[in-house]
Structure 1
Amino acid sequence: MLLEKINGPDDIKKLEISQLQTLADETRSALINKLSKAGGHQGPNLGVVELTVAIHYVFDSPKDKIVFDVSHQCYPHKILTGRKKAYLDEAHFHDVTGFTNPNESEHDMFIVGHTSTTVSLALGLAKGRDLNGRSENVIALIGDGSLSGGEALEALDYAGEYDRNLIIIVNDNDQSIAENHGGLYKTLKKLRETNGNAEDNLFRAMGLDYRYLEAGHDTAKLVELFESVKNIDHPIVLHIHTTKGKGLPYAEKDRERWHAGGPFNIEDGSPLYPYQGEENVIFSCLKELLDTNKNAIVLNAATPMGLGFVQGVREEYVKRGQFIDVGIAEENAVAMTSGIAKNGGTAVFGTFAPFFQRTYDQMSHDVCLNDSPATFLIMSPGVFGSDSNTHLALCDIQMFAHIPNLIYLAPSSNEEFVQMFRYATTQKQHPVAIRVVNTLRTTGVDDNTDYSVLKSKIEQSGSKIALIAVSGLLTMALEVAEKVKEQTGNDITVINPRFVSGVDEELLVSLKKDHRFVITIEDGELMGGYGQNIAAFYGDSDMRVRCYGISKAFHTEFKAEELLDQHGISVEKLTKEIIAALRSE
């Protein structure tokens, strides 16, 4: 087995070119071993195995700098740079993360988990090299729809006037997470169909040198191509056609489903742990809106499955003109949503909270400054979202709750979400964002609240101590109240804020009559969060306030319950604190 002898790029260079395909096959087998048992990004990594083998055969990492866009196509790179045990031995699966990480290896340049950043980062590395008078190669690998992101296009534009070594590898597998969208992908298709000779060439139009390789899984041809540009003295784009999911027939056929996922049976691709979840309440609301309002439209940025618009479902709405996927271009989607709402449409844009971070300026300027009555679904924020430092969304309240004109609603249940969504998509006064955490409970009781009046809800009435719990933490707060009642006989007040873009001043004033202690808990970062707004309100009064949230850090590879507990947010710790406060009277 060749892979047993590969502990770094130097070992790859000792092989004959004729042995590289064997190494690629063994690398792909190692990938499948881990992916089938532990899950991960499947399609992107399977599609770049030969390409990665050839890169390390020709270039001299870590002297030569390699940057991976999104880096969910870096698993073969990790296998070939001393981390193969994390893919071969189940006991070591968690030794590495799913993204490049300099803390793991000198062969990784950046911690990267967001899209469209590679060419910009590589340009920075190149300029740093120039300033220090060095001459190493700088290689940017971009693919999986990342070219549609604005940063990628901005970087290509600047690269067109750069005049030193920069090698941009466009891994063209004709796929993003879902299908690609945008005019530039029509251009890429023409280039593929003409073996790179089409007159319309985005890269040449940007002033870049360009070469095309159809045989993206031919190690010998890849080596030949890379050797021809090694130490080149100007920027060049290497446009390489690959197959996403290469090596697993079902992944090659159903590329959207096999972008990423959990453990599976290698024989047929069936999941080891079939999903047993409830119906997607987000999709149900969106479907009802589109089916009952011909002027309504849903926008998305390359994550349609997150809204429930999976392949086979969304096509009908696309045909009606009621569903748009703009590709990985959230900024464009947000501004479009504002324009649609301003011109009489009912517009909803939704994607995952980490990707909303790219839209701050558009949310502030294009939407809120203009007070466009659009609706935004901010999915999977807080500690119950992603547990990777590349996809953290612990600051959504800090980002959005403080923008003027924006109403930021925080449902604690599916029923509240449904009613908030209906309010947001029927009102015409202000933009509304809804914080959709992954732990929404189902109460079984319809919510008929009029959310045009922003009021918090007292879920349980008591005295002396009030516990205010944001979003999905309400369930914990109610359990704490129950424990306190069992152990002391006292009822405490439990409050569901329901909106986090302000405070319910009338309610907070009323608490002063028979409460002396307010505790806030939230599933995001404490600094600048909702709880500190409550503390500020009570700042000149006798009310004691204790705020609990997550510390300001790039937390990673955590379990939500454990991270919350580390920050004092657990049934046991809150119950103990409240009982101690009651007994200290």
Structure 2
Amino acid sequence: MADLPKTPLLDTVDTPQDLRKLAPAQLRQLADELRTETISAVGTTGGHLGSGLGVVELTVAIHYVFDTPDDRLIWDVGHQCYPHKILTGRRDRIRTIRQGGGLSGFTKRSESEYDPFGAAHSSTSISAALGFAVANKLNEAPGKAIAVIGDGAMSAGMAYEAMNNAEAAGNRLIVILNDNDMSIAPPVGGLSAYLARLISSSEYLGLRSLARRVTQKVSRRLTAAAGKAEEFARGMATGGTLFEELGFYYVGPIDGHNLEHLIPVLENVRDAEQGPILVHVVTKKGKGYAPAEKAADKYHGVQKFDVITGAQAKTPPGPPAYTKVFADALIAEGERDATVCAITAAMPSGTGLDKFQAMFPDRTFDVGIAEQHAVTFAAGLAAQGMRPFCAIYSTFLQRAYDQVVHDVAIQNLPVRFAIDRAGLVGADGATHAGSFDVTYLASLPNFVVMAAADEVELVHMTHTAALHDSGPIALRYPRGNGIGLELPKVPQRLEIGKGRVVREGKKVAILSLGTRLAEALKAADTLDAKGLSTTVADLRFAKPLDEDLIRRLLTTHEVAVTIEEGAIGGMGAHVLTLASDTGLIDAGLKLRTMRLPDLFQDQDKPEKQYDEAGLNAANIVDTVLKALRYNEAELADGVRA
């Protein structure tokens, strides 16, 4: 393609083995070309940009120094892995990233031997790397395990749980802390680089080891004193005392964009006999691309954009996103009630709580990447009389399930869970799909579980949740935009456990939960045209079910179909259980459930994902006809209608 950047040196590198043939003096040019290629690729496809640009030099240095893939490189979260993919045999497919049938936007084991561990949720890298390192130790294999974890990911307790056990790995484990927000310590120029090289050098490590052996001969008390003195001195100079306390030998901080500093430090660390070691590297998100450097938040995840100007493709005008509808509805609740507050786990803009925060800064809490803490913190607020909304993506709420059960449900505390990204999510793929929340919440005693069919329902459900003080309540809504309905000026308080009939018929009943309602109505049009009079109900609640409505529909229609944007065990399973418990199945009821398939779907456009999942109008019609054992020929003239 004529518009591709010129990258003569990068063109010679297909794998890290090619990279290691280069002279150190060539690495600066390679990094510059790799950054240019990353910008060009993401400009074409959209995706994550700022974090990848921040680790270009670090990616080059790691693959240059370590023997990947035998040395296992594990990226935390994986947003920053695009340069890594370019250097590991996938450059020819980099412009398919996050597209249907293309490369994943995260590391993925099935995609490459250079991706030893899949990562799309935060703070897992040290635990996984520890597993690799200990396995090598037990098998007497030489390979290292390198975990690259961001300062944001270090806010999660799992990272510290892993570090607390890392001593078992010895020198086979290396953790690289990518500090890209200057949240721990800024680099201090040449002195910092000199100190990092010095304290990671074999001479220093050897003297340190010798000193320990000598003092051990003198007395245990002197050993402890000497260790504390050295730790204190190095901690004062470098800020690494916390990591030393956790059993790591700390090196840094060093400039993560200076290859002349990075390479010798990583070589020292690679060859060190002591361990585990933590290398503190300071980088800048969006490095080398001015628009991304100026607005790192806006260039974390981007649409397609013009590489020259940085202007991102504009979303065509249309209905507001569900996230915005929720945010505005929550602000209205906050204005009505001073006890309404909001909690997010490092996703203020993703959940819309940045807008609530602008209005009510004292009632908005971003707890970092700590979903478990977020849920129990919300439980504490609720127990003290506040009305907390815990806004977390469906896929991330899974991480706090124990807290949902023990700290919220068992104690029957009125925590409000606003579950964004419910259902399939397009380019983010299987790791971010909200497939399981109805299943894992509706099975819990005391829970109320709602699903909005459209933006108007989401406004009503937000209001209903705010007023619900008798136990935990959840409202789920998808990624993307509403269907264009006019939003109500005054929200309604919905009756808990009561659905609504949207369309009346006599022969077929479609019971919908969530935004598949639009497809259910399309299916009803088709079925009516075939002479099959169809009722469509929006159940609104997966728990408690509207048992009266369901019984009426199941006993007055020849066939009933449930449809939802969730995995097996959700609303359909609860309707089946109700039918079984009340003897309706024994009466010859034809009841079918439609749900997400029992597999992890790869990324694609959401509409195509739902087509592949069989959750569209045509599939609803097909399900009804098969249940009735009708065929198109018999229906042509309404013979059996």
- What is the SS of the residue equivalent to 1:409? strand
* Structure 1 gaps, min length 5: 176-184
Indicate how the Cα distance of structure 1 residues 452 and 200 shifts in structure 2: closer, same or farther if over 3 A, else same.
Answer: farther
Q: 163, 172, 175: which is aligned to 1:156?
A: 163
Alpha-carbon offset, residue 88 of structure 1: 6.7
Deviation at 1:549, TM superposition (A): 1.3
Q: Give the aligned partner of residue 544 of structure 1.
A: 590
* Aligned equivalents of 2:257, 2:285: Cα separation in 1: 11
C-alpha distance in structure 1 between counterparts of 2:530 and 2:296, whole Å: 55
Residue identity in the other structure for 2:262: L
Residues 471-507 of structure 1 show CA distances to partners (whole Å, capped at 9, x for unaligned) of: 000111111112222332x431111110112322212
Distance 1:379 1:502 in 2: 21
| Match of residue 499 from structure 2 | 456
For 2:41, the equivalent position in structure 1 comes to 34
Q: Partner amino acid for 1:543?
A: L
**Aligned counterparts of 2:17 and 2:608: Cα–Cα separation in 1:** 41
1:110 is paired with a residue of what secondary structure?
A: coil
Task: State the alpha-carbon separation in 2 of the partners of residues 94 and 548 from structure 1.
Answer: 25
Would the aligned equivalents of 2:42 and 2:49 in 1 still touch at CA under 8 Å? yes
CA contact (8 A) 1:24 1:49 kept: yes
CA distance in 2 between counterparts of 1:90 and 1:393 reads 21
Instruction: Tell me the alpha carbon deviations over residues 429-470 of structure 1, each in whole angstroms, 9 at most, x when there is no partner.
Output: 111110112364344374865434311211112112211111
Deviates more, 1:530-539 or 1:543-552: 530-539
1:492 aligns to 2:534 (yes or no): yes
Between 116-125 and 201-210, report the one with greater CA deviation.
Answer: 201-210
Q: Is the 8 A contact 1:330 1:359 kept in 2?
A: yes
Instruction: Give the equivalent residue in structure 2 for 1:308.
Output: 352
User: What is the aligned residue count?
Assistant: 569
Q: Residue in 1 aligned with 2:185? A: 189
2:388 aligned counterpart, secondary structure? strand
1:421 maps to: 462
Q: Given the alignment of the two structures, is residue 522 of structure 1 paired with residue 564 of structure 2, yes or no?
A: yes
In structure 1, C-alpha distance between the alignment counterparts of 2:51 and 2:613, rounded to whole Å: 36
Which of 478, 481, 505 is 2:547 aligned to?
505
Q: Which residue of 2 aligns with 1:19?
A: 26
The 1:332–1:459 alpha-carbon spacing in structure 2 relative to 1, beyond 3 Å, is same
Q: Do the aligned partners of 2:59 and 2:84 also contact (CA within 8 Å) in 1?
A: yes
Q: Which moved more, 1:341-350 or 1:381-390?
A: 381-390
1:164 offset after TM fit, Å?
3.8
Q: Percent identity?
A: 33
Mean alpha-carbon deviation: is it higher for 87-96 or for 296-305? 87-96
CA offsets 1:82-124 (integer angstroms, 9 cap, x no match): 1122237999996421111232221110121110000000000
Determine which of 326, 331, 343 is the counterpart of 1:287.
331
Change in 2 beyond 3 A, CA 1:445/1:90: closer
The verdict on how the C-alpha distance between 1:215 and 1:562 changes in structure 2, with shifts beyond 3 A counting, is: closer
Q: Distance in 1 between matches of 2:121 and 2:619?
A: 36
The answer as to 2:148 corresponding to 1:141 is yes
Aligned-residue CA RMSD in angstroms?
Answer: 2.5
- CA deviations 1:46-84 (Å, max 9, x no partner) are 000001101111110111111110111111111111112
User: Secondary structure, in 3 states, of the residue corresponding to 1:119?
Assistant: helix
Return the letter of the residue paired with 2:611. Answer: D
In the alignment, the residues of structure 2 paired with residue 398 and residue 118 of structure 1 have an alpha-carbon distance, to the nearest angstrom, of 28
* Compared CA separation, residues 91 and 238, structure 1 to 2 (3 A): closer
Aligned counterpart for 2:518 among listed residues 475, 480, 487: 475
If each structure's helix is expressed as a fraction of its own residues, which one has the higher value?
2
> Residues 74 and 125 of structure 2 are in contact (CA less than 8 Å); yes or no, is this contact kept in structure 1?
yes
Larger CA deviation: 270-279 vs 59-68:
270-279
* 8 Å contact kept, 2:255–2:281: yes
Give the direction of change, closer, same or farther, for the CA distance of 1:135–1:375 in structure 2 (3 Å limit): same
Amino acid at match of 2:449: Y
1:506-526 deviations in whole A, cap 9, x for unaligned?
A: 12222344212111111222x
Structure 2 residues not aligned, in runs of 5+: 1-7, 193-234
Q: 1:162 offset after TM fit, Å?
A: 4.7
Which SS does the other structure have where 2:563 is aligned?
strand
Q: Which amino acid aligns with 2:514?
A: S
Q: Are the aligned partners of 2:76 and 2:153 in contact in 1 as well (CA < 8 Å)?
A: yes
Question: Over residues 274-318 of structure 1, what are the superposed CA-to-partner deviations in whole Å (9 max), with x where a residue is unaligned?
Answer: 46344411110122223333332111111111232448x735532
CA contact (8 A) 2:513 2:563 kept: yes
Q: Which amino acid aligns with 2:142?
A: S
Distance 1:274 1:27, change over 3 A: same
Q: Alignment partner of 2:365: what SS?
A: strand
Match of 2:86 among 79, 102, 110: 79
Give the letter aligned to residue 263 of structure 2. Answer: V
The CA distance in 1 between the partners of 2:533 and 2:556, in whole Å, is 12
Give secondary structure in 2 for the equivalent of 1:84. helix
TM-score (norm 1): 0.91
Corresponding residue for 1:117?
Answer: 124
Counterpart CA distance in 1 for 2:410 and 2:98 is 53
2:173/2:277 contact within 8 Å kept: yes
Letter in 1 for 2:502: E
Moved more, 433-442 or 282-291: 433-442
Residue 137 of structure 2 aligns with an amino acid whose one-letter code is D
TM-fit CA distance, 1:537: 2.0
Q: 1:93 to 1:479 in 2, by over 3 A?
A: closer
Structure 2 counterpart of 1:46: 53
For the residues of structure 1 that align with 2:487 and 2:24, how far apart are their CA atoms? 67
Q: Which amino acid aligns with 2:571?
A: Y
Alpha-carbon deviation of 1:574?
A: 2.4
Write the deviation string for residues 255-282 of structure 1: whole angstroms up to 9, x where unpaired.
1111111111222321123463444111
Q: What SS does structure 1 have at the residue aligned with 2:565?
A: strand
Secondary structure of the 1:306 match is coil
User: How far off its partner does 1:200 sit?
Assistant: 6.7
For 1:381, the equivalent position in structure 2 comes to 422
CA–CA separation in structure 2 for the residues paired with 1:365 and 1:505: 28
Q: Does 1:575 align with 2:571?
A: no
The answer as to 2:105 corresponding to 1:98 is yes
Q: Distance in 1 between the 2:264 and 2:79 partners?
A: 26
Counterparts of 1:140-539 in structure 2 under 5 Å?
140-143=147-150, 145-160=152-167, 162-174=169-181, 185=183, 188-189=184-185, 195=192, 197-198=237-238, 201-233=241-273, 234-274=275-315, 276-279=317-320, 280-310=324-354, 314-315=357-358, 317-318=360-361, 321-384=362-425, 387-438=428-479, 440-444=482-486, 446=488, 450-488=493-531, 490-525=532-567, 527-539=568-580
With over 3 angstroms needed to count, the CA separation of the structure-2 counterparts of 1:274 and 1:509, relative to structure 1, is closer
CA distance 1:92–1:83, change in 2 (3 Å): farther
Distance 1:503 1:290 in 2: 29
Residues 312-352 of structure 1, C-alpha deviations (whole Å, 9 max, x = no match): x735532xx11111111111111111110110112111021
Determine the C-alpha separation between the residues in 2 that align with 1:91 and 1:160. 37
Q: Distance in 2 between matches of 1:149 and 1:281?
A: 29
Question: Residues 85 and 92 of structure 1 are in contact (CA less than 8 Å); yes or no, is this contact kept in structure 2?
Answer: no
Contact 2:148 2:178 in 1 (8 A): yes
Shift of 1:238: 0.1
